[in-house]
Amino acid sequence: MSYEEFLASKRLVAEAVGREVPPKAISTALYDFQRDVVLWALRRGRAAIFQDCGLGKTIQQLEWARHVGGRVLIVAPLSVAEQTIAEAEDKLGIAVRYVSTAPEMSDGISITNYERLHGFVDHAGVNGIVLDESSILKSIDGKTRRLLLAEFTDIPWRLCCTATPCPNDIAELANHAEFLGVMTRGDMLASFFVHDQDGWRMRGHAREPFFRWLASWAMAMKSPADLGYDDSRFKLPPLHIRDEVVETEWRRPGELFPGGLKGIQDRAIVRKESIGDRVARAAEIVNSTDEQVIVWCGLNDESKAVAAAIHDSVEVVGSDSIESKVAAIRGFIDGRHRVLVSKVSICGFGMNFQNASRMVFVGLNDSYEMYYQAIRREWRYGQTRPVNVHVVVTDHETEIVNNVRRKEDQAEMLSAEIVSAARRYEMEELRPQSTQLAPIERAVYEGDSWKIYQGDAVEEMAQIEAESIGLSVFSPPFLALYQYSETERDLGNSSSQEKFFQHFRFVVDELMRVTKPGRNCCVHVAQVATTLATHGVIGLRDFRGAVIREFIERGWIYHGEVCIDKCPQAQAIRTHAKGLLFVQMRKDSSWSRPGLADYIVIFRKPGENVEPISPDISNDQWIEWARPVWYGIRESETLNTAEAKSDEDDRHVCPLQLGTIERCIRLWSNPGDVVLSPFAGIGSELYMAVKLGRYGLGCELKPLYAKTAAKNCSEAERLTDEPRLFSIEDAC
């Protein structure tokens, strides 16, 4: 595998497990964007379609299911089954069976409701499953959600469809990714998010990798124009929302004015106490028009009272049988009932109610998702009339309305941002082509006794003459996704320790090529702590041992190592590690552990060293430095990192202590030798090489670090009085 091919394999994208279907095999009943999305979803095998209301998710999931073949089950919200069956017959000429249990299924497409999902746990022989209105995953009871994730993720072909353009919270996105087998919730959080005092947030450098990953399994679209298609058939009519504020006599004890609700309890009290006032206003609005109207309620008493106050209405409640619910909803769609009265949780997901263009909310709760889904039953692509929405609330509840509107603004901005950010990657997914790695910024900085290649370490080291390096000293980037950069060329941006060391092998091999026979490579390492939030367990990973094994396997000789003493109290203050805290020692010392030391692991290239090294150190110094533990290394003696800090970095750069570097250079190199650091960072190793009369040569991927390293090397030249010992041409 070439280096370029390996880097492409590092990309965090969902694996395609489907098959290619020729475009001409897709029904002509689909629009061009629908055809391309179906082809993409079939190629992926397990995918999600996040499209705005009215863009035809039903016909797309039906066409997808038709090509999957075998037994395919569609799981849909209540009453959506009837619409799906009719659309399958009318637009595609295929039959869809409504079933209640798995034994009723046969080859072809079957449909059931989420309420009947328990009857399909034994689904042997089912080849594909579709979750219609899959955003319901965060609204339905936890038992059903757990059932889906626990019992239905063994079905080979899986498709999720939701009217929400894209999930707008981590939990919903994690549910989709986990159901589709793309990534577990824990892995998703560890890859793209970081946990701090405010909860989970996206890593500073994870934005582009995250949206590329998302586009590899989810297609987000608010309009066909988002992905370059004609949207002339998909224009929404005007939406008019009017708040109907009803004044009430109810007041919180001790207060003269409305408002100031204190939590859920106050919200529940005022809603219950004001049912009569709100129902009267809602009935007045509905009875003043001959139009078809949907009335959304939140309480059973509201629903019962408003249905009684409105003529020609049909009420759908949770205790109704599925058959009676379907009959009532069908009667409203057909025009046999003028008014539909129900809850959003019953009729607010997946239904097409373009037959009506007016609705009334008899009160409002704080759920933006419910509010959004309810409005989109009428205000959706295919609606030809302006939609009028009346929100009836009391003078106490205006703060609830404001809260929902604030969430609405945030959701709209987030949805637009997500669609915009993912557009490039989605278009690449829809129109597959050979995609090259994103270009990186390359540069060269140099002085009289140092040189820095800004770029990929593996590629830049290829420019160095074979067997020209007298010593290498460096700290490899630790496995930490998107902590410092977004590119796959960053060694730390690896999805696993195995992938990390696959990348590291290219570096180790280049080090072998450029190092003089018999000379050394000093690698600074530390053990890696795991966390409960990211890794699921508190413990350690043997990073040091893995590095040693890798060098040995690539032909190096394991020459020795030294442990660098560290202060456990300083570590406890900096990391808050549970195992180092006094309080934990007193509470349960089984969790207590020693502080993490640093190590310098020394590897020797096979062969004879033709230029003996005579270190300028005394016997007493040698006795001290030959100890298996180095004491006296000051942890604070590092180069200043202030200029290298970026707002996107989730970790500050941690330069190697200058005292450690000095000992390595003085022990294992001669004046005039070229000292290499393939991961130069802010230039600590090069800085000390220049000060000690060597030639500093480094590679650094991150432009800000490379510029800072160049500045530090220039400062080292200014500070040293050593004469220049050779020319740049001799060094490189």
| Banded model confidence at residue 433, pLDDT cuts 50, 70, 90 | low
Looking at the predicted structure, is the pLDDT value of residue 714 above 70? yes
| Banded model confidence at residue 196, pLDDT cuts 50, 70, 90 | confident
Assign a CATH topology to domain 239-396.
Rossmann fold (3.40.50)
What does the block give as tokens for 132? 């219609």
Lowest mean pLDDT among 297-301, 392-396, 486-490: 392-396
Q: Tell me the average pLDDT across 117-134.
A: 93
pLDDT given at position 137: 63
With H, G, I as helix, E, B as strand and everything else as coil, classify residue 496. Answer: coil
712 or 220: whose pLDDT is higher? 712
Residues of the chain with CATH 3.40.50.10810: 9-227
- Closest of 11, 74, 24, 67 to residue 44, by C-alpha: 67
d(CA 705, CA 507): 19
**Pairing state between β 46-51 and 218-221:** parallel
Q: Tell me the average pLDDT across 683-688.
A: 97
| Banded model confidence at residue 168, pLDDT cuts 50, 70, 90 | very low
Task: Give the tens place of pLDDT for each residue, 44-60.
Answer: 999 999 988 889 999 99
Count the neighbouring beta carbons within 10 Å of the beta carbon of residue 357.
21
d(CA 570, CA 334): 73
d(CA 30, CA 14): 26
Angle at CA of residue 160, ends 159 and 164, nearest 5°: 150
Q: Tell me the average pLDDT across 209-213.
A: 90
Contact yes or no for 374/341 (Cβ under 8 A): no
- Closest of 272, 291, 292 to residue 362, by C-alpha: 272
The continuous run of DSSP H or E covering 272 comes out as: helix 263-273
Task: Give the tens place of pLDDT for each residue, 602-618.
Answer: 999 999 999 999 998 99
What does the block give as tokens for 695? 């030639």
pLDDT given at position 607: 97
| Banded model confidence at residue 21, pLDDT cuts 50, 70, 90 | very high
Residues of the chain with CATH 3.40.50.150: 443-731
Residues of the chain with CATH 3.40.50.300: 239-396
| Banded model confidence at residue 352, pLDDT cuts 50, 70, 90 | confident
Burial 76-111 (b: 16+ CB within 10 A, else e): bbbbbbbbbbebbeebbebebebbeebeebeeebbb
What does the block give as tokens for 484? 């410092």
With H, G, I as helix, E, B as strand and everything else as coil, classify residue 187. Answer: helix
Q: Tell me the average pLDDT across 118-126.
A: 92
pLDDT given at position 727: 47
Any residues with CB less than 8 A from the CB of 424 and at least 6 apart, and which? none
C-alpha distances in Å from residue 50, one per residue of 60, 273, 418, 426, 516: 12, 39, 11, 12, 57
- Closest of 392, 377, 475 to residue 683, by C-alpha: 475
Q: Tell me the average pLDDT across 115-121.
A: 91
Q: Tell me the average pLDDT across 164-188.
A: 79
Angle at CA of residue 115, ends 109 and 116, nearest 5°: 50
63 or 586: whose pLDDT is higher? 63
Lowest mean pLDDT among 138-142, 363-367, 694-698: 138-142
Q: What is the DSSP letter of 61?
A: H
pLDDT given at position 729: 45
Architecture of domain 443-731: 3-Layer(aba) Sandwich (3.40)
pLDDT given at position 261: 62
Looking at the predicted structure, is the pLDDT value of residue 435 above 70? no
Mean pLDDT of the chain: 88
d(CA 470, CA 600): 17
Tell me which range, 125-134, 512-521, 530-539, is most confidently predicted by mean pLDDT: 512-521
pLDDT given at position 597: 86
d(CA 511, CA 476): 13
Any residues with CB less than 8 A from the CB of 379 and at least 6 apart, and which? 53, 236, 237, 239, 387, 389
d(CA 451, CA 13): 36
Share of the chain above pLDDT 70, in %: 91
| Banded model confidence at residue 322, pLDDT cuts 50, 70, 90 | confident
pLDDT given at position 723: 53
Q: Tell me the average pLDDT across 143-148.
A: 84
Q: What is the pTM of this model?
A: 0.76
Tell me which range, 87-101, 387-401, 472-486, is most confidently predicted by mean pLDDT: 87-101
Looking at the predicted structure, is the pLDDT value of residue 167 above 50? no
Q: Tell me the average pLDDT across 206-211.
A: 88
The continuous run of DSSP H or E covering 417 comes out as: helix 398-430
Q: Tell me the average pLDDT across 255-284.
A: 77
What does the block give as tokens for 513? 């090529």
Count the neighbouring beta carbons within 10 Å of the beta carbon of residue 483.
21
What does the block give as tokens for 127? 């080849």
**Strand runs (DSSP E) across 354-468, as ranges?**
358-362, 387-394, 443-446, 450-454
Looking at the predicted structure, is the pLDDT value of residue 244 above 60? yes
Task: Give the tens place of pLDDT for each residue, 619-653.
Answer: 999 999 999 999 989 888 999 877 666 666 656 56
Looking at the predicted structure, is the pLDDT value of residue 61 above 80? yes
Query: Is the alpha carbon torsion for 111, 114, 118, 124 positive or negative?
Result: positive
Task: Give the tens place of pLDDT for each residue, 448-460.
Answer: 999 999 999 999 9
pLDDT given at position 661: 97
Which residue type does 173 have?
L
pLDDT given at position 349: 80
Looking at the predicted structure, is the pLDDT value of residue 165 above 70? no
CATH 3.40.50.720 for the 9-227 domain, yes or no? no
C-alpha distances in Å from residue 222, one per residue of 12, 132, 240: 25, 17, 20
Query: Is the alpha carbon torsion for 184, 188, 189, 190 positive or negative?
Result: positive
| Banded model confidence at residue 583, pLDDT cuts 50, 70, 90 | confident
Burial 185-195 (b: 16+ CB within 10 A, else e): eebbbbbbbbe
d(CA 385, CA 382): 9
| Banded model confidence at residue 420, pLDDT cuts 50, 70, 90 | confident
Task: Give the tens place of pLDDT for each residue, 653-669.
Answer: 678 999 999 999 999 99
Q: Tell me the average pLDDT across 416-425.
A: 78
Looking at the predicted structure, is the pLDDT value of residue 347 above 80? yes
| Banded model confidence at residue 703, pLDDT cuts 50, 70, 90 | very high
